[in-house]
């Protein structure tokens, strides 16, 4: 009996082993690089749902760092042939990768996908570069204005303040700083780069024209917006200089209840709500001269170096991540904009809209949200802009002189880089 | 047995029983090759991670490449021309030179002074050596993050302490002059322990009889330090000088974490610029040109140091 049982067991084990190996070989693995640390829970849920619906596809998600880290690591990974199959790419910086043939042209996939009819117009637009689709939007955002009503109340502002113009924002910031400065509380966080771009747009201008790619850094309205932003730190002293040299400090101070107002991406909504609870109020961006906000965030691109079957599997995932169901999970869990028109019809999104006041502000801004220019020189411009902003905000250089110089250098770089 | 034979007993194996050594041509070749085979793995390692990248960088510095495109067109000296015509390069060179000129003498001076006090083998000095060496083995990123918090203008520990003492806020990382001094301070704090340990080893090698002799001659402490200690630790000083100048010109992590080269380029070191040009702006050609210039600069500097200071170094008491 014993002698018969042993070979049977061995045979059954071998059969099971080969079956497992066979199954593992049949599985397609998609290596996906992303940048979502705080929002990881919502992403994990989307991936789990996808894998449950597609058991033959395994998504290996890897947190790489922020958008800059992803770009840097991707550059090193490509020649080393260790690049992922799918990657999150910030909306203004994927042009270079598209130009270089690193990203797959997703147009054939996208055109055949019913998803395209469900996406908002703005969401379709951010994925298009030189007439072709290179990324499918995932986490879209606009800047919004957050304030801590507890801080405003302590500063004596109990009625809902008007925060529509630069003067309105400055006036409230001054009141907070005057009343609570002794406690180490400042009126407003120094605007980060995305917020600066939004404030320039609300002053009826742009950094680079999104249609013609003309450099508008030295246009009068851009200069005026920068002059106002720099004055918050240098002249009015209503914003901490710490947030100029490290933009995360401004956000962290707001979350710690040390700052009254913050202009930042709607992607910060969940974190801000967790940090300051019911004291969080979200308002649209100021409309100083016009109402106009930039669309930020990122989309998922697929690398052309991956085998065709992996690209197909990756697109299945990309499309699933942008579906109404997944987008509703993402919107409710993070505060990023819905990119799918049907997302807000889903139960989870409807609940979020009903129970999380302020989560809908970014959606209401979509009427005047615009995509930004994304020629390759944008990477250079955004990298150099930090130095320029610091020089102006810290009072080391005059705003007009700096912006004119910056514009000239950006034009030279655009010419040199041939874009 | 003769008396001589009893005094010199036969060896266990008589010499004439050993078979004669036959050296074949193949064996002779193997013997010649043996030392080279021993060092071959190390040579291969160094070649792969040092010499080949240097040659590769040199090649890339004459090309236009963005890491992504399959072509790397030859552009001659265009990258060097671009770099030498860029105000960012000259700013970085100026900032790095100032950083080196201040931080290296500060490090070596402090290290020698502290090592002189810690050279004796007492329990407190052993403890202090360990305590001072600790930052050298601590992650540079962690140190930089902690000091970013310490020197935060509105939320940092340094200004909180100054506030309690009645002083106003100091914009440590926002003032262009101050921020460079903060970088020098943090770098010195990180590297000092290593310099101290090396100096202690150097000081312990100074023969005690020389100190005894100067004591007999009535030499004062400063006189003994200047005439005996200083010349005899010159080999250590020279070694640390070479190492610390190279380190200072290659400082990167502290700056990248604490200021990203800001405010407005005030702490933008050469390696930070190299990283930005190569890995943020995708201009590998210009980044490689900068790496080559830095390499040549450090070689020239080391050569000058060996000619000017190396001759004054005596390796024997």
Asked if A249 and A390 sit in the same domain, the reply is: yes
Q: Which of A104, A237, A390 to mutate to test the interface with B (most CBs of B within 10 A)?
A: A390
d(CA A327, CA B237): 63
- Whether residue A3 lies inside any domain: the answer is no
β-partners of residue A89 are: A299
Task: Give the chain A residue whose CA is nearest to the CA of B64.
Answer: A417
Residue A75 touches partner B, C-beta closer than 8 Å: yes
> Which residue in the set A72, A387, A388 is minimally distant from B279, CB to CB?
A72
- Whether residue A63 lies inside any domain: the answer is yes
Asked if A216 and A123 sit in the same domain, the reply is: no
Q: B86-312 has which fold?
A: MetI-like fold (1.10.3720)
CATH code, A148: 3.40.190.10
A86-90 and A28-34 beta bridge pairing? parallel
Residue B145 touches partner A, C-beta closer than 8 Å: no
Please provide the DSSP assignment of B211-226 as one string: HHHHHHTT--HHHHII
- Whether residue A17 lies inside any domain: the answer is no
Mean pLDDT to the nearest integer, B160-182 = 90
A28-34 and A57-63 beta bridge pairing? parallel
B281:A75 CB<8 A: no
Distance from CA of B254 to the nearest CA of A (A): 14
Asked if A329 and A392 sit in the same domain, the reply is: no
d(CA A288, CA A292): 9
- Whether residue A197 lies inside any domain: the answer is yes
Task: With beta carbons under 8 A apart, name residues in chain B contacting A379.
Answer: 280-282
Asked if A283 and A304 sit in the same domain, the reply is: no
A78:B148 CB<8 A: no
Domain that holds residue A397: 143-293+375-417
Asked if A119 and A206 sit in the same domain, the reply is: no
Using pLDDT thresholds of 50, 70 and 90, give the confidence band for residue B1: very low
Residue A291 touches partner B, C-beta closer than 8 Å: no
Mean pLDDT to the nearest integer, B28-40 = 89
Residue B149 touches partner A, C-beta closer than 8 Å: no
Asked if A246 and A389 sit in the same domain, the reply is: yes
Chain segment B197-236, per-residue pLDDT in tens = 999 999 988 888 888 888 888 778 788 888 888 888 888 9
d(CA A117, CA A394): 47
Q: Mean pLDDT for chain A?
A: 88
d(CA A300, CA A133): 11
Chain segment A16-55, per-residue pLDDT in tens = 544 444 444 448 999 999 988 866 788 999 999 999 999 9
Predicted confidence at residue A251, as pLDDT, reads 92
Chain segment A49-79, per-residue pLDDT in tens = 999 999 999 999 999 988 888 988 888 888 8
Task: Give, as one character, the DSSP assignment of residue A61.
Answer: E
Asked if A384 and A410 sit in the same domain, the reply is: yes
Asked if A282 and A134 sit in the same domain, the reply is: no
A396:B176 CB<8 A: yes
Predicted confidence at residue B22, as pLDDT, reads 63
B67:A75 CB<8 A: yes
Asked if A234 and A356 sit in the same domain, the reply is: no
Please provide the DSSP assignment of B143-200 as one string: HHHHHHHHT-TTT-HHHHHHHHTT-----TTTSHHHHHHHHHHHHHHHHHHHHHHHHH
Distance from CA of A328 to the nearest CA of B (A): 34
Residue with tokens 């043939």: A101
Q: What predicted TM-score, i.e. pTM, was given to this entire model?
A: 0.79
> Which residue in the set A242, A380, A388 is minimally distant from B153, CB to CB?
A242
Sequence-separated (6 or more) residues with CB below 8 Å from residue A274: none
Which of the listed ranges A312-321, B9-18, B70-79 does the model predict with the highest average pLDDT?
Answer: A312-321
Task: Tally the domains of chain A.
Answer: 2
Predicted confidence at residue B141, as pLDDT, reads 94
Using pLDDT thresholds of 50, 70 and 90, give the confidence band for residue B21: low
Asked if A256 and A393 sit in the same domain, the reply is: yes
Asked if A178 and A269 sit in the same domain, the reply is: yes
d(CA A182, CA A237): 13
Residue B169 touches partner A, C-beta closer than 8 Å: no
Residue B177 touches partner A, C-beta closer than 8 Å: no
Asked if A282 and A173 sit in the same domain, the reply is: yes
With a cut of 70, say whether residue B9 has pLDDT above it: no
- Whether residue A189 lies inside any domain: the answer is yes
Residue B155 touches partner A, C-beta closer than 8 Å: yes
Distance from CA of B249 to the nearest CA of A (A): 22
Domain extents in chain B: 86-312
d(CA A291, CA B317): 80
Chain segment A266-301, per-residue pLDDT in tens = 989 988 999 999 999 999 999 999 999 998 888 999
B265:A246 CB<8 A: no
Task: Give, as one character, the DSSP assignment of residue B228.
Answer: I
| Pairs of residues, one from chain A and one from chain B, whose beta carbons lie less than 8 Å apart | 85
Q: Which pair of tokens denotes residue A200?
A: 């320039």
Predicted confidence at residue A17, as pLDDT, reads 47
């Amino acid at each position: 009996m014993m002698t018969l049982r042993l070979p049977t067991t061995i045979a059954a084990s071998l059969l099971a082993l080969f079956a497992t190996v066979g199954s593992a070989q049949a599985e397609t693995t998609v290596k996906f690089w992303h940048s979502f640390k705080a929002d990881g829970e919502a992403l994990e849920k989307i991936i789990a749902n996808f894998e449950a619906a597609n058991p033959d596809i395994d998504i290996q998600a890897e947190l790489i760092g922020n958008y800059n880290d992803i770009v840097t690591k991707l550059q090193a990974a490509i020649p080393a042939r260790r690049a992922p199959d799918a990657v999150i790419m910030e909306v203004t910086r994927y042009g270079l990768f598209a130009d270089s043939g690193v990203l797959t042209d997703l147009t054939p996939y996208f055109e055949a996908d019913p998803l395209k009819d469900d996406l908002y117009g703005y969401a379709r637009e951010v994925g298009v570069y030189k007439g072709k689709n290179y990324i499918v939007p995932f986490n879209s955002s606009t800047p919004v204005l957050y304030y801590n009503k507890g801080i405003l109340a302590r500063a004596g502002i109990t009625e809902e303040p008007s925060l529509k113009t630069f003067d309105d924002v400055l006036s409230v910031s001054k009141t907070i700083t005057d009343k609570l400065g002794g406690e180490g509380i400042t009126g407003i966080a120094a605007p980060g780069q995305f917020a600066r771009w939004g404030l320039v747009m609300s002053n009826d201008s742009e950094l680079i024209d999104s249609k013609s790619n003309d450099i508008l850094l030295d246009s009068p309205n851009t200069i005026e917006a920068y002059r106002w932003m720099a004055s918050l730190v240098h002249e009015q002293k209503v914003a901490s200089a710490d947030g100029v040299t490290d933009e995360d400090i401004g956000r962290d101070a707001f979350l710690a209840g040390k700052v009254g107002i913050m202009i930042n991406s709607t992607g910060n909504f969940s974190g801000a709500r967790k940090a300051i609870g019911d004291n969080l109020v979200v308002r649209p961006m100021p409309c100083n001269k016009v109402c106009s906000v930039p669309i930020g965030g990122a989309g998922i691109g697929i690398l052309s170096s991956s085998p065709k079957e992996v690209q197909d599997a990756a697109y299945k995932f990309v499309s699933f991540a942008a579906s109404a169901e997944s987008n509703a999970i993402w919107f409710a869990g993070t505060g990023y904009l819905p990119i799918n028109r049907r997302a807000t019809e889903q139960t989870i999104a409807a609940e979020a809209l009903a129970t999380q006041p302020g989560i809908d502000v970014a959606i209401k801004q979509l009427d005047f949200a615009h995509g930004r220019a994304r020629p390759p020189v944008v990477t250079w411009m955004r990298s150099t802009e930090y130095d320029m902003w610091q020089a102006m905000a810290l009072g080391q250089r005059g705003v007009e002189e700096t912006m004119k110089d910056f514009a000239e250098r950006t034009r030279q770089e655009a010419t040199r880089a041939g874009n | 047995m003769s008396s001589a034979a009893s005094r010199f007993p036969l060896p266990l194996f008589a010499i004439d029983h050993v078979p004669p050594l036959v050296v074949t041509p193949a064996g002779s070749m193997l013997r010649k090759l043996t030392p080279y085979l021993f060092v071959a793995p190390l040579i291969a390692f160094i070649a792969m991670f040092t010499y080949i990248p240097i040659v590769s960088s040199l090649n890339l510095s004459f090309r236009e490449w963005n890491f992504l495109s399959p072509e790397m067109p030859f552009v001659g000296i265009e990258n060097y021309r671009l770099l030498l015509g860029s105000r960012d390069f000259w700013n970085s060179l100026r900032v790095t030179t100032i950083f080196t000129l201040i931080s290296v003498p500060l490090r070596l001076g402090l290290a020698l002074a502290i090592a002189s006090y810690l050279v004796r083998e007492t329990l407190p000095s052993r403890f202090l050596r360990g305590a001072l060496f600790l930052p050298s083995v601590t992650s540079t990123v962690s140190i930089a993050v902690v000091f970013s918090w310490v020197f935060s203008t509105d939320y940092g520990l340094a200004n909180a302490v100054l506030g309690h003492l009645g002083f106003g806020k100091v914009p440590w990382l926002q003032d262009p002059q101050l921020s460079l001094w903060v970088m020098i301070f943090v770098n010195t704090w990180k590297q000092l322990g290593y310099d101290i340990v090396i100096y202690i080893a150097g000081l312990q090698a100074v023969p005690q009889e020389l100190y005894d002799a100067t004591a007999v001659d009535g030499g004062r402490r400063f006189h003994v330090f200047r005439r005996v200690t200083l010349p005899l630790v010159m080999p250590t000083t020279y070694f640390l000088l070479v190492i610390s100048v190279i380190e200072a010109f290659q400082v990167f992590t502290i700056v990248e974490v604490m200021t990203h080269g800001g405010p407005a380029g005030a702490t933008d070191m050469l390696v930070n610029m190299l990283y930005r040009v190569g890995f943020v702006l995708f201009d590998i050609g210009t980044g490689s040109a900068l790496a080559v210039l830095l390499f040549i600069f450090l070689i020239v500097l080391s050569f000058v140091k060996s000619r000017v200071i190396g001759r004054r170094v005596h390796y024997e008491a």
